A and B are shown apart, each in its own frame.
Chain A
Amino acid sequence: MSETPPDHSVTGPASLGPSAVAPEFRPWRGPRAARARTLSCPSCGGSVTVRANGISITAICASCGSALNVANPDVRLIAEAHQRTREPPIPIGTRGVLVGTCWEVAGCQSRTDTENGWSWDEYLLFNPYRGFRFLIQDDKNWTLYCILRQDVPNPEAGFDGRRYEHQSTGKASTTYVLGEFYWRARVGDEVSVTEYVDRRWVLSREQNSDEIVWSRGVRLNASEVQFAFGMAAPILPTGEMDKSAAHLERGRAVKWIFAAAAVALIVLQSITFGTNRSAVVFSQTFHTTAANEGRTLTTADFDIPGTGGNLRITARSSVYNDWVELPLSLVGPGDVTYAATPSIEYYYGTDSDGAWSEGAQYSQVTFRSVPGGTYRLLIEPYAGGYHANPSNPASRPTTKDVAFSVTVTRHVPDMWSFWLALLLIAAYPSYRLVSAPWRHAAAPRMASLKAPE
């Protein structure tokens, strides 16, 4: 579209000369400040708050669960209900600072993808100046989305100067709604969802019979979200593995074969342990400050010996009640790239039960097969310590020195293949023993960038 506003001529009934606004014009002092709206539920009389007053069109009464049309001054009942509502893990009305803005939870919907066995919660966040965001929690990630007001022709061909990769396709069906929405949200709503990922960034396409909506998302640290919304402990959906002992069935032969195979495997593993010669091929300590935020650190070239084998990258940082995230790329011959995001988080404190701690001051990623050659590391550190409030990147930058070290180790003892072999050996006995099918817990809606350990 044109950069300069077109030569105006507002098509009015009268022919008008050049427009002029008196320079001394002062804003009208309105009768009062803008505010949320409070109304009574036409079904139960309970008090309903409409935070995005003038924007929300549907609200669910928290007392009785009835759906209300709040688009107009006169509130209308859409669907009556008489049951107590379930409070989501982050209650409606909770405020928290994310990506530098204070948001209030206006609505929450639970969605499920029955075909893939996934389910997740979506919070609708509101700020009167910045509008809406969607905060989505699945079993792996917290992701903050904003709707895009433009078309994305093909994310895999590049968008935002990034290369997005297709991650998942599925159907989302709404199973629960609470709070307020600027659309006619209701249980049973269905959309097709396709997601594309590039490191911390996500592009999501939702399509229903009426429209296609693209959103851009960014992954957040769980600790950031927990801190922002004052949640006591990490909230992650837990799988409902059916452990009912009544379904166990014993097969003596199977048990013996399994035991023999497991012993053989352990013997084999200890032999390979002895022959493995693990070696540190690179190690460096980095000191960064807030001034480095968003910059990429590049290491000197280093050699990785041998023709093949695994490689472990260990990141360490002495964080206390703080976090450091190190998106990194290991770039080798022919620009082959291995990407990972070690995340170091360590929290400790005391409560009525005594001292507690959580997380670790190190993080590891292991690439199973990396050919030998000359490599370098590109690291783009993010640290809570860069800012006065670790959860708020808009808060005052600190001058704090954030130190971390990165160690690259060749030929680490490969416990992964050991566990895989053990798993394979155990597969048939388990099948015999556990006859009860287990329900799938929410599976990854997106795979992690981390290489399997």
Chain B
Amino acid sequence: MLATTCPSCGAELHFRSSVTVCAVCASCGSMVVRSDITVEAIGAMASLPDDISPLRVGANLTVDNRRYTLLGRARMYWAGGAWTEWFMDDGTAPGWLIEAQGFFSVAFSLPLPPGFATAPWPALGAEIIVEGQTYRVTDLKQATCAGSEGELPFTARAGREVRYADLTSEVGGFAGLEEGDDGRRLYVGHHIHFDDVAFRDLRDVEGWTPPSVGARLAGDPEYSPSQ
């Protein structure tokens, strides 16, 4: 962890994950970028509009037997609405928790295979093989970053344009190719259920009680009846 101070307001500022490069100061909203030797404020981040999500920076969850902490988020807008990408780290295998339309999924970054950086952007229906698994491009969309909070492994400026190719595998699971001003990224991920990842340290939601941890509900169509 790097403990430093905000170059703009002097408040305490942490880079808790060693892979993050940018953090939004919780006191003054400055976007602070670190390099190997310096910490620099590169502008102010407008505060994000509030939402109903019970997640917050500092909440934690268990994925594949690893205990992750949510360290930052980027809020993305597209023609069909918005979603939130939460950066999470357990100290070993950082990843993303994606919150969209009331569903959760997790994704992990892969090194970009040779050729992926410069290949023409895939078309809808194209087949892409990632780690030996065949995926099909099922959706193409363009999104804009509305702003960010906490620390992130890239500079998530408001107005940052990203295009996405969503890939779906026939055996379950998904992958994603995205392209921002700083290049392309490749992810693989899977869908999760709220009840299966033992969320802790969530924030309160006014008027609602959190479900008891670990309760899988008999008869809820979210789950397969054979499970």
Contacts and interface: CB of A to CB of B under 8 A. Distances in A.
B219 A99 contact: yes
A151 B56 contact: no
B211 interface: yes
A300 interface: no
A420 interface: no
Nearest to B188: A1
B115 interface: no
Interface residues of B, number: 87
Nearest to B171: A1
Report which residue of B59, B112, B169, B205 has the largest number of chain A beta carbons within 10 angstroms of its beta carbon: B205
Contacts of A2: 131, 188
Interface in A141-187: 144-147, 149-151, 153, 160-162, 182-184
A52 interface: yes
A128 B109 contact: no
Nearest to A11: B185
Contacts of B153: 10, 12
A144 B221 contact: yes
Contacts of A147: 103
Interface in B29-85: 35-36, 49-54, 56-59, 63-64, 66, 69, 71, 77, 80-82, 84
A183 B207 CA distance: 25
Contact of A128 (B1, B52, B185, B191): B52
B211 A130 contact: yes
A55 to B, nearest CB: 6
A34 B206 contact: yes
Interface in B5-29: 14, 16-19, 21, 26
A10 B19 contact: yes
A137 to B, nearest CB: 16
A394 B209 contact: no
B18 A17 contact: yes
A6 interface: yes
Contacts of A153: 170
Contacts of B57: 27-28
A35 B206 contact: yes
B52 A51 contact: yes
Given A21-B16, A129-B211, A10 B92 contact: no
Given A6-B188, A100-B220, A130 B194 contact: yes
B19 A393 contact: no
A292 to B, nearest CB: 13
Contacts of B170: 151, 153
Q: What DSSP secondary structure best describes chain A's contact surface? A: loop
Contacts of B206: 33-36
B81 A35 contact: no
B87 to A, nearest CB: 9
A35 B226 contact: no
A20 B89 CA distance: 8
B102 A126 contact: yes
A358 interface: no
A337 to B, nearest CB: 18
A11 B111 contact: yes
A217 interface: yes
Interface string A7-50: 11111111011111110011110101111110000000000000
A218 interface: yes
A21 B218 contact: no
B109 A11 contact: yes
Contact of B56 (A27, A52, A184): A27
A290 to B, nearest CB: 11
Contacts of A101: 211, 217, 220
Nearest to B210: A129
18 contacts: A3-B64, A5-B66, A6-B188, A9-B111, A10-B19, A12-B21, A20-B91, A27-B57, A34-B54, A35-B52, A36-B206, A71-B82, A129-B210, A149-B103, A161-B225, A183-B81, A216-B221, A218-B221
Interface of A: 1-14, 16-22, 25-28, 30, 32-37, 51-55, 57, 71-73, 99-102, 126-133, 144-147, 149-151, 153, 160-162, 182-184, 200-201, 211, 215-218, 293-294, 393-394
